[in-house]
Amino acid sequence: MNMLHAFLVAPFADYVFMQRALFGSLLLCISACPVGVFLMLRRMSLTGDAMSHAILPGAATGFLLYGLQIIPMTIGGLIAGMVVALGSGLVSRLTSQREDASLAAFYLISLALGVMIISLRGSSVDLMHVLFGTVLALNDDALFLITLITVVTIVALGIFWRALVAECMDPLFLRSVSRLGTPVHFVFLALVVLNLVGGFQALGTLLSVGLMMLPAAGARFWVNRVAPLCALAIGFGMISCIAGLLLSYHIALPSGPAIVLTAGAIYLASIIVAPRGLIRSRNANRHHRAA
């Protein structure tokens, strides 16, 4: 019992930095995992990855001007993400190019621009900080920002829930019966950018999308309905954060990658043992053939 307490509870009970990391990462799960579910249902999973790169030049500009200060880097990341989201959306609507192609072009430009901006002033350590984050160094400003993003996301999802679900199922039908189709699309992209900016504070630009998408992808093997899917994704995300932080504490792993790899392990396990996973699917096919 003492060993179990020392392994599971003591790191969070004894160290303030672990408590801050746990609080911030759990808030991110509540906010980002449902957004990841809607990205997946809309077949936009890779959009999250593209948008996580898109915020880099804005965050890098904030870093170039003010150093590792949360507010300038956050504002810069929001502006850059919104520019890429709106720009790619407008290009796809005003030209014959599809949105995935225009988004790919915008995010590649953003990624190269962000790395170049950081290289003008910073070192490789600064670049690693921006790309991979420092969840164990969250301060009051970062926690306040993550809390604010979580509240905004929950309120927005509550207001636009039915429209978001309808757009996942049949976007053309939504646009034919309601004027909310296009506005909801851009509201959703704004939520994606907001949550990636919040995740950037803890996990960096490259790993923030991992906490958004991997729990959602794993939960998809267990349930079908949207609300339970969001709840299960949040649960998988929280387990990933707790386990990842414990692993990083006990065996000296980088905390951000440990969290994302734990989420990846849950995803791989879901592929195998979930009701819609490989084992159940193969058994169902055998029974069907035998019948």
Rounded CA gap, 222 and 210, in Å?
19
184-230 pLDDT, tens digit each? 888 888 898 889 888 877 787 667 888 999 999 999 999 989 999 99
Domain ranges of the chain: 2-286
Rounded CA gap, 111 and 113, in Å?
5
Q: What is the mean pLDDT of the chain?
A: 83
Task: Tell me the CATH number for domain 2-286.
Answer: 1.10.3470.10
218-273 pLDDT, tens digit each? 999 999 899 999 999 999 999 999 999 999 999 988 888 899 999 999 999 999 99
Beta-carbon contacts of 1 under 8 Å, excluding residues fewer than 6 positions away, are none
DSSP 122: -
Question: In sequence order, which ranges of 178-277 are alpha helices (DSSP H)?
Answer: 181-219, 226-250, 255-273
63-101 pLDDT, tens digit each? 778 776 778 888 888 888 888 888 887 887 778 777 777
Where residue 174 falls among pLDDT bands split at 50, 70, 90? Answer: low
The answer to whether residue 146 scores a pLDDT higher than 80 is yes
Residue 40 identity: M
Rounded CA gap, 262 and 230, in Å?
18
